[in-house]
Amino acid sequence: MISCDVGQCDLGPPRIGFLLAKTGDAYQLGRLTIYQRPKRHRMRTTKPELRVLSRQPATPHNGPTNPRRQLESVDHTATTINIETRPVLSGQQSTSNTRTRQYPITINTTTDKRDGDHSPFRQSGNVSDQGATNGYDRGVSAILDVDLLAFERGDRQQRAAVVDGVRRSLTTGFVYTSHDLSTDMLDTAYAMLKQFFDLPAEEKAGAVVPGSNGQAGYTGLLVETAASSDSPDWKEMINWGADIPTGHPLQTRYPDRYLGPHLPEAQVPGITSVLIDFYERVLDLQRRFLRIIAVGIGCHETFFDEMIRNGTTLTRAIHYPPMAVAPGGSHVWAAEHGDINLITALPRATSRGLQVKTDGGWIDAVPPDDGVIINTGIMLEYLTNGVISQGIHRVVAEPGQSGDRYSVVQFCHPTPWTILQPVPSCIDEQNPQRFAPIEAGNLLDQVLYDINLVEDARRVG
């Protein structure tokens, strides 16, 4: 027998639940769609569908079950399922006339690729139930792959399923999403950036922007240092943002925050227009994804729109040289850390190395070929009162891994005068206010100091 229960996800008809089934020493995480229609004050359940997304070693499951649906058991051949239904009268559950019906189910033991399925998300990573954390139901310690376009173009049920998938995945601080970024644009940007990083060190040094504290232009090897480490990261990077009009109040008040692109046009002709296009397209993606998060925390979906308009969003291209040529054995590509901003987007990396810290340990972040990695930052943790925690991660080469690694990440920031204060929907008796209000620009200053980027106050090197 396979013992099953359904995690609560009350979306209205049709309803989508999340199934954890135990067979032998393995759990199977699946999606259960239950179509319900009112008839004579009853909720009639028909044609449930189950798709198993992954198999993992057995772990305790303590998640909630939906009181209207109690999944009893299915045969190990996975051909039928018993579902108990109760009438609903005037919005309340009746304790009489309980019925149990048996329905066929379909099992797919490979990862759901959305081919003809229209599933709003897929699941990747390790399955591990650890109970509720920071107000979210920690159904699984895994990174889900959600469909941004399903949220934007789908019906109410599809939108709600995407929101729920993001909420669940962000218990890790990470989520994958589909996107509509141009492959040609990504290819061109990565090729031009590699051309820059292949230049001699003295030519790259010509792209340094003094006084930018790592927020514009080139930053060399062994400079940025995670707050948790005393060994600088084995990486070099180039950073750029967007211009705002001269005389804009933000530029007047925060001149060190709005430094312009400062890209190495002299070294790589044409790179400025390509990377500014990259910046704008990824920022649009981040703005759209923040709307899912806004709905998930009980805010209007445009909650973040004005906050990030003319924000200090920063794009960073990173070159991680081979570890074999690193000086000494104490360095890694990037030590354990969390990002400072709202969310970070990584459209592509040229090799593995990114790992995410979960309750069950470190897991690899390996998105689908068509996926963008999104992770949460410290500023979002402040705004959500810890309901959404920062995604703790690192970048490390596997034993024996040779060669370089390239990635381009974009840190989505609010305007520096934004007051980061927990939203009321994330504060209750079980989760009282944890963070005092702070200006986003002041929080950024503190973190830049902590990670060794303030040029006249370096703590390492």
> Residue 201 and residue 407: Cα distance in Å, rounded?
19
Q: Are residues 288 and 164 in the same domain?
A: no
Residue 276 lies in a domain: yes
pTM over the 0.85 mark: no
Pairing of β 15-23 and β 26-39: antiparallel
Q: Are residues 220 and 160 in the same domain?
A: no
176 burial class (0-12, 13-18, 19+ CB within 10 angstroms)? buried
Contacts of 436 (CB under 8 A, 6+ apart): none
pLDDT value at position 120? 52
> Residue 175 and residue 135: Cα distance in Å, rounded?
18
Question: What is the extent of the structural domain holding 35?
Answer: 2-171
Q: Are residues 165 and 188 in the same domain?
A: no
> Residue 74 and residue 77: Cα distance in Å, rounded?
8
Residue 178 lies in a domain: no
Category of 34 on φ-ψ map: left (φ > 0), alpha (ψ -120 to 50) or beta: beta
Last residue of a domain, one of 140, 171, 202: 171
Q: Are residues 37 and 89 in the same domain?
A: yes
The β-bridge partners of 176 are 145, 373
Q: pLDDT 10s per residue in the chain (461 long)?
A: 233 333 333 333 333 344 444 334 443 444 443 333 333 333 333 333 333 333 233 333 333 333 223 333 333 333 344 444 333 333 344 444 444 444 343 332 223 333 333 345 444 443 323 222 233 333 346 899 999 999 999 999 999 999 999 999 999 999 999 999 999 999 999 999 999 999 999 999 999 999 888 888 999 999 989 888 889 999 999 999 988 888 999 999 998 888 888 899 999 999 999 999 999 999 999 999 999 999 999 999 999 999 999 999 999 999 999 999 999 888 999 999 999 999 999 999 999 999 999 988 999 999 998 899 999 999 999 999 999 999 999 999 998 888 999 999 999 999 999 999 999 999 999 999 999 999 999 999 998 888 887 776 776 76
> What are the backbone dihedrals phi and psi of residue 354, each rounded to the nearest 5 degrees, phi first?
-75, 125
Task: List the one residue out of 364, 344, 345 whose CA is nearest residue 355.
Answer: 364
Q: Are residues 128 and 249 in the same domain?
A: no
Helix axes 156-169, 271-296, angle to 10 degrees: 100
> Residue 174 and residue 374: Cα distance in Å, rounded?
6
Residue 461 lies in a domain: no
Task: List the one residue out of 303, 314, 298, 294 whose CA is nearest residue 411.
Answer: 314
Residue 409 lies in a domain: yes
**What is the C-alpha end-to-end distance of the chain, expressed in Å?**
61
Domain count, the chain: 2
Report DSSP letters for 362-398, one per residue.
EEE----TTEEEEEEBHHHHHHTTTSS----EEE-PP
> Residue 64 and residue 131: Cα distance in Å, rounded?
9
Cβ contact 238:219 at 8 Å: yes
Residue 456 lies in a domain: no
pLDDT value at position 215? 85
Cβ contact 228:335 at 8 Å: yes
Last residue of a domain, one of 147, 171, 195: 171
pLDDT value at position 370? 83
Q: Are residues 132 and 193 in the same domain?
A: no
Contacts of 249 (CB under 8 A, 6+ apart): none
Residue 177 lies in a domain: no
Residue type, position 294, single letter: A
